[in-house]
Amino acid sequence: MKLLEWVNCKPVESLKGRDLLTLLDYTSDEVKDLLDLATNLKFLTKEGKCPPLLEGKTLGMIFEKHSTRTRISFEVGIKQLGGNGMFMHSRDLQIGRGESVADTAKVLSGYLDGIMIRANSHEMVKELADHASIPVINGLTDLFHPCQALADLLTLQELKGALKGLILTYVGDGNNVAHSLAIGAAHMGMHVRIATPPGYEPVEWISEEISKLAITNGGSYAVFNEAKEAVQNADCIYTDVWTSMGQEEESQARLEAFATYQVNEELAAHAKADFTFLHCLPAHREEEVTAAIIDGPNSYVFQQAENRLHAQKAVLASVM
């Protein structure tokens, strides 16, 4: 993609004032426009010319879960855009002591210009957005992780150019990352394959929405229980940890269920020779992925992690 040195990067106008709870709420054109804006913001940032699109604006960041990439990328991102970020752990707010989500949303709407929340329950985040008069951005819930998916697509676009028609295989738990990654890829007209053990497939209604979206954009969507079959001729292999935060009691059962779903050299041999390996991090080497893969020449996980910053700046600039 030709990088345009815009003096004024223009936010995606149709997203002004809107929430980002799931990429299902955005059109395919809006997702593409966000990626284009992220590309240009990244270029200008590297040149020391990131425009202060959010000067004087304040983003409140609520965390129920620990974070490295989400917290730091949002804090740095809002600052690079000329605004301010305010970290708030839920245990330090009255919402952690029983104040209703609705009351919290109304109070924060009087102080802030936007809210980013990393939470356990997607339903709680929806309730927050329903009662807030300012944009609410989903930094992660049990069902979706849209900001991660935007960074994933940005990375693949940088590496592969056009995304339409690429084969993307996700190997592992059919979780929030898998949901949002597949939604984003479906917007781009990619061929999405999810390889997961029986009982760990993506949520059925979400799969149905992904399938419809993929077909509309000339792509496809399929769920496999055999990893080697799903990886055949793949342009990208993606994985995530087998046990996420809050699932620690299931750890042993998950280790057994996912034992044959490790991304290793034997599995990767079924993909294209120039396949791209991605992982949302943090990673457990020699569990869901071997060191030979994640630290090998096909891995771009740190470029992917950096792109959280630039993709989120595009979201912040547009919705706020």
* Nearest CA among 129, 39, 68 for reference residue 317: 39
Q: Alpha-carbon distance 111 to 276, whole Å?
A: 43
Amino acid at 318: S
What is the number of other CB atoms lying within 10 angstroms of the CB of residue 208? 12
Beta strands 84-89; 114-118: pairing state: unpaired
Q: Which of 179, 236, 280, 304 is catalytic?
A: 280
Q: Within the chain, what is the greatest distance between any pair of CA atoms?
A: 55
Known active-site residue 91: no
145 among the known binding-site residues?
yes
Known active-site residue 36: no
118 among the known binding-site residues?
yes
295 among the known binding-site residues?
no
Known active-site residue 148: yes
Q: Which of 19, 142, 240, 254 is catalytic?
A: 240
Q: Which of 145, 179, 191, 193 is catalytic?
A: 145
Known active-site residue 254: no
The stretches of 110-242 forming alpha helices (DSSP H) are 122-131, 146-160, 176-187, 204-216, 227-231
245 among the known binding-site residues?
yes
Q: Which of 9, 36, 113, 118 is catalytic?
A: 118
Location of structure tokens 């000339």: 218
9 among the known binding-site residues?
no
Secondary structure class of 237 (helix, strand, coil): strand
Q: Alpha-carbon distance 194 to 182, whole Å?
A: 8
244 among the known binding-site residues?
yes
298 among the known binding-site residues?
no
Q: Which of 148, 157, 262, 312 is catalytic?
A: 148
196 among the known binding-site residues?
no
281 among the known binding-site residues?
yes
In 182-269, which ranges are E strands? 191-195, 220-224, 236-239
Q: Which of 9, 308, 310, 312 is catalytic?
A: 308
146 among the known binding-site residues?
yes
148 among the known binding-site residues?
yes
Query: What would the two tokens of residue 294 be?
Result: 């994640």
Q: Which residues are catalytic?
A: 118, 145, 148, 240, 280, 308
Annotated binding site for L-ornithine: which residue ranges?
Answer: 176, 240, 244-245
Annotated binding site: which residue ranges?
Answer: 67-70, 94, 118, 145-148, 176, 240, 244-245, 280-281, 308
Annotated binding site for carbamoyl phosphate: which residue ranges?
Answer: 67-70, 94, 118, 145-148, 280-281, 308
